[in-house]
Amino acid sequence: MQRYFMNTLYEQLGGTAAVEAAVDIFYRKVLSDHRISHFFEGVDMDHQIAKQKAFLTMAFGGPVHYTGQDMRRGHAHLVQRGLNDSHFDAVVELLGQSLSELNVAPGLIAQVAAIAESTRADVLNR
Amino acid sequence: MPVIDWEGQQVQLAAGESVLDGLLRIGADVAHSCRAGVCQSCLLKASSGQPGMASQAGLKAAWIEQSCFLACVCYPAGDLAVETPGAGVRSSAELIGMSWLSPTVLRVILQPEAPPVHRAGQYLTLFRDDGLARSYSIASLADEGKIELHVRIVPDGRMSSWLAQLASPGITVGIQGPAGNCFYTTGAPDQPLLLAATGTGLAPLYGIVREALEQGHCGPIWLYHGAANSEGLYLQAELEALAATHPNLRYRPVLRDRNGSITDFIINTHPQLKGWRGFICGNPDFVNSLKKRVFLSGMASREIHSDAFVPAPPSS
Ligand SMILES: Cc1cc2nc3c(=O)[nH]c(=O)nc-3n(C[C@H](O)[C@H](O)[C@H](O)COP(=O)(O)OP(=O)(O)OC[C@H]3O[C@@H](n4cnc5c(N)ncnc54)[C@H](O)[C@@H]3O)c2cc1C
Ligand code: HEM
Ligand code: HEM
Ligand code: FES
């Protein structure tokens, strides 16, 4: 993840509190979307939100600590339960919707989508 | 795999084995309960080596500085020497009173050796002489000078049945804590508050609601207490009296046999929770499902405080 890009996104969102709000908006969409919400049954909400926030906040300022290998391991059990391209597309769509609700510029949203896209093979364990 | 040293005894961890499981395998006498990183019963101290950040999540800063960690969620990268945490972490208290709040809920009053420093709603871990440890939420305010717990009697429950049948005032127990983030904070006196509990989840909320009122909270406070039927309620008269003298407090018992699901009942009453703060305690399934529902109804994740009363797994 390019540091330059993340700083820009962070600024556009407007700081840490706004990143928190962005994660809430995104995660609320994920949990209410019937195409994908079943993957999140029983996942502890606190841990998930805390990790996402810590990650996003960290990613804006510091080095990124996870690898493609982590992404593979983190989703392997979901792929066994049927996680596929359609679910991945749904998540990218919701991420884009969240950012546009927060008035992030379209060009930047396209870059976020491209970054998410770059994880597809790892998330789907291909 | 890493080697763990415990009082001169060594054990090499198997792949995927936690420090707690490794120590129990060699017969070490390490207190534990939930085995899920929630109750803090299995707190140990690393005298050398790195337990890892994941095993210190949620611990207070002073304990992390002393290299304390939770053994049940500790998968260290290298060797560790570990010991029972000493003074400064554990202390003792005298059991000075016990009375029944309902046919299944015991009120336990402790006099700690040092004046209590908790925030109402936090929990502590109670240690019996033989090392059995269980966590209980604190219903009293620190300035009341004593510690009040509400213990639901679990059939054949090791700690709760012992308290009900064998313990008597005058005995000494070990205590560790306080711990947890489920407590009232000042700074937003007119924010609407949602307090929801099942069973003895009322204990922390009984502290939190009185703390909030004492601090002059003037926004609306909704207190829901869920139970299977009217026998599961307790402190009803006290809470009704509190609501009668504080017009911003609403107290609502919710009975499954009469009102249906407590989560549905609450969300139907409050479909929009944007800007609210929530405190949710008790049965883990209830806590997790209501947390998700209030979040989806607009409550910010940062405003959701909770304690799930995760029990010890059946086998241990
Ligand atoms: C943070 C925290 C705060 C807590 N606060 C309180 C509190 O304020 N008041 C309170 O009464 N309890 C509270 N608990 C629960 C408490 O720690 C014990 O788990 C409980 O008292 C049972 O312990 P026991 O030794 O009596 O039963 P155990 O000997 O541990 O249990 C006997 C058997 O019953 C099962 N069991 C025990 N409890 C349940 C349950 N609720 N549902 C299903 N099966 C169960 C066990 O798995 C076991 O098989 C809290 C737990 C946590 C983690
Ligand atoms: C640019 C996009 C994203 C990146 C780079 C990213 C990265 C991360 C990282 C690194 C963590 C883990 C942090 C840790 O373990 O400490 C994390 C947690 C998590 N992420 Fe994101 N994330 C992104 C978007 C998403 C999307 C689209 C989803 C899917 C809906 C998602 C779901 C999760 C979940 C569920 C967790 C926590 C899981 C748990 O409880 O262990 N993330 N994310
Ligand atoms: C943009 C792509 C995505 C990114 C960057 C991402 C990132 C992550 C990360 C980093 C974790 C944490 C792994 C760990 O802690 O070990 C995680 C977990 C998780 N992700 Fe993804 N994710 C993506 C897509 C998806 C999709 C498409 C789904 C399902 C629809 C999904 C569902 C989950 C779930 C349910 C977890 C938690 C697993 C568990 O704890 O059981 N993710 N994600
Ligand atoms: S936190 Fe380890 S046993 Fe509960």
Q: Considering the entire predicted model, what is its pTM?
A: 0.88
CB contact under 8 A, B288 and A44: yes
pLDDT at A62 over 50: no
Topology of domain B90-179, per CATH? Elongation Factor Tu (Ef-tu); domain 3 (2.40.30)
Does the beta carbon of B62 lie under 8 angstroms from any beta carbon of chain A?
no
DSSP states of B39-69: S-TTEEEEEES---GGGGTT--HHHHHTTEE
Distance of residue A30 Cα from the nearest chain B Cα, in angstroms: 10
What does the block give as tokens for B2? 């890493």
Q: How confident is the model at residue B206 (pLDDT cuts 50, 70, 90)?
A: very high
Calculate mean pLDDT across residues B63-90: 92
Quick one: pLDDT at residue A1?
40
Closest CA to B242 of B269, B270, B266, B208: B208
Calculate mean pLDDT across residues B4-11: 94
Quick one: pLDDT at residue A115?
79
Kindly provide the ipTM of the predicted complex, given to two decimals. 0.78
Quick one: pLDDT at residue A50?
64
- CB-defined site of ligand 4, < 6 Å: B 32-35, 37-42, 70, 72
| Encoded amino acid at B251, one letter | Y
Does the beta carbon of A32 lie under 8 angstroms from any beta carbon of chain B?
yes
Quick one: pLDDT at residue A45?
74
**Cβ proximity of B18 and B74 under 8 Å:** yes
Topology of domain B3-83, per CATH? Ubiquitin-like (UB roll) (3.10.20)
CB contact under 8 A, A49 and B300: no
By DSSP bridging, strand B221-227 and strand B249-255 are: parallel
A26 lines ligand 3 (CB under 6 A): no
Element (H, E) at B175: strand B172-179
Range scoring the smallest mean pLDDT among A98-107, B105-114, B177-186, B290-299 = A98-107
What does the block give as tokens for B260? 């249906």
Write down the domain spans for chain B: 3-83, 90-179, 193-308
pLDDT > 90 in chain B, percent: 89
Q: How far is the CA of A99 from the centre of ligand 2 (A)?
A: 16
| Disruptive mutation site among B291, B294, B301 for chain A (greatest number of A CBs within 10 Å) | B301
Distance of residue B296 Cα from the nearest chain A Cα, in angstroms: 6
CB contact under 8 A, A45 and B288: yes
Closest CA to B149 of B313, B316, B312, B309: B309
pLDDT at A13 over 80: no
pLDDT at A59 over 50: no
Q: What is the pLDDT of residues B113-166, one digit of tens each?
A: 988 889 999 999 999 999 999 999 999 999 999 999 999 999 999 999 999 999
pLDDT at B315 over 90: no
How far, in Å, CA of B127 to CA of B176, rounded? 8
Exposure string (b/e) for B45-58, b if CB count within 10 Å is 16 or more?
A: bbeebebbeebbee
**Cβ proximity of B237 and B195 under 8 Å:** no
pLDDT at A108 over 90: no
Quick one: pLDDT at residue A54?
56
Quick one: pLDDT at residue B115?
87
User: What is the CB neighbour count within 10 angstroms for residue B288?
Assistant: 18
Residue, of A46 and A108, whose pLDDT is higher: A108
Interface of B with A in 247-306 (CB under 8 A): 288, 291-292, 295-296, 300-302, 304, 306
A119 lines ligand 3 (CB under 6 A): yes
Report the CATH architecture of B193-308: 3-Layer(aba) Sandwich (3.40)
pLDDT at B73 over 70: yes
How far, in Å, CA of B217 to CA of B195, rounded? 14
**Cβ proximity of B220 and B191 under 8 Å:** no
Closest CA to B35 of B17, B51, B50: B17
- Angle, helices B284-296 vs A16-32, to 10°: value is 110
CATH superfamily of A13-123: Globins (1.10.490.10)
Exposure string (b/e) for A84-123, b if CB count within 10 Å is 16 or more?
A: eeebbebbbebbbebbeebebeeeebebbeebeeebeebb
Q: What is the pLDDT of residues A17-38, one digit of tens each?
A: 777 788 889 889 999 999 999 9
Give the dihedral of Cα atoms B120, B121, B127, B133; nearest 10 deg: 180
How far, in Å, CA of B284 to CA of B16, rounded? 25
Q: How far is the CA of A52 from the centre of ligand 2 (A)?
A: 5
